[in-house]
Amino acid sequence: MFTIVEKRRLNDSMTLMAVEAPYIAKKAKAGQFIILRVNEFGERIPLTIADYDREKGTITIIYQKVGKTTMLLDELNEGDAILDFIGPLGKATELEGYKKVAVIGGGAGCAIAYPQAKALHSMGAKVDMIAGFRNKDIIILEDEMNAASDNLILTTDDGSNGNKGFVTDALREQIENGAGYDLVIAIGPLVMMRAVCNLTKEYNIKTIVSMNPIMIDGTGMCGGCRVTVGGETKFACVDGPDFDGHQVDFDEAIKRSKTYNEFEKEATRKHKCNLMGGIDNA
């Protein structure tokens, strides 16, 4: 059992949790993830390691309430325990040797982009962080991202924070103003990562994306997390989750990401019905 030592609301749908997991915290690095199971009847879900504290022995995760399992997780509070919490899994992001990097996060993807920026910043790289949200009310980790970068650019789709536009707009502006990036890291919705990669390909800038496909065991055995990279089948849980964004088949990944949408919606509906004391004979 893994005890929750901190729980903090980031916005109406996103929550930060720090979990006591000293063995994972001892080895965790930016880019890796954990797989958790809330209880013995629950499904396994992957969540990126948003931060870690080796001295305290804690792992920080950030999740968005989008389905049954994240709703169950959100019902837990400080002092409660998660049944299974396994990691660190996946390959850590290779960050050595870069001098000027743009780290781009889209919405919930900022929870994954933040540790990348933090690691690069601590290694002496100059980091521009570009974070995009639908509106100002759902902006998360602003203070943390600001501390982990030399320049933080926050954009909103509706302009409610005073800076309207998409992350690609801000990225193009930085590039054309002579930013001189030797690496771009993009993490967020698949369509956003694809748009970033299409842009950076124009300028021949190396681009890394973090893929989060359907995942079950986290060891490469089930094959559920397969992605096509450079015409070859890769498994995000063991070969990634980071890949060369210019080699990823995003069209295939987007199509596969929708495979279980209806099942997820039905599981969520039933759970909400149970929470409200309803009777569901479906």
Give the helix/strand (H/E) hosting 207: strand 207-210
Average pLDDT over residues 158-178: 95
Q: What is the pTM of this model?
A: 0.86
Average pLDDT, the chain: 90
Whether the CB-CB separation of 208 and 244 falls below 8 Å is answered with yes
pLDDT (tens digit per residue) in 217-236: 777 777 778 899 999 999 98
Average pLDDT over residues 95-111: 94
Give, in order, the Cα–Cα distances in Å from 189 to each of 108, 151, 186, 195.
8, 22, 10, 10
> Residue 242 has which token pair?
């980071």
> Residue 199 has which token pair?
């842009």
In the predicted structure, residue 84 carries a pLDDT above the cut 50: yes
Q: Which amino acid is at 156?
A: T
Average pLDDT over residues 141-160: 95
pLDDT for res 267 = 54
pLDDT confidence of 281, banded at 50, 70, 90? very low
The full set of domains in the chain, from first to last, is: 2-89 (2.40.30.10), 100-257 (3.40.50.80)
In the predicted structure, residue 196 carries a pLDDT above the cut 70: yes
How far is Cα 49 from Cα 186, in angstroms, rounded to an integer? 16
pLDDT (tens digit per residue) in 234-264: 998 899 999 999 999 999 999 887 765 565 5
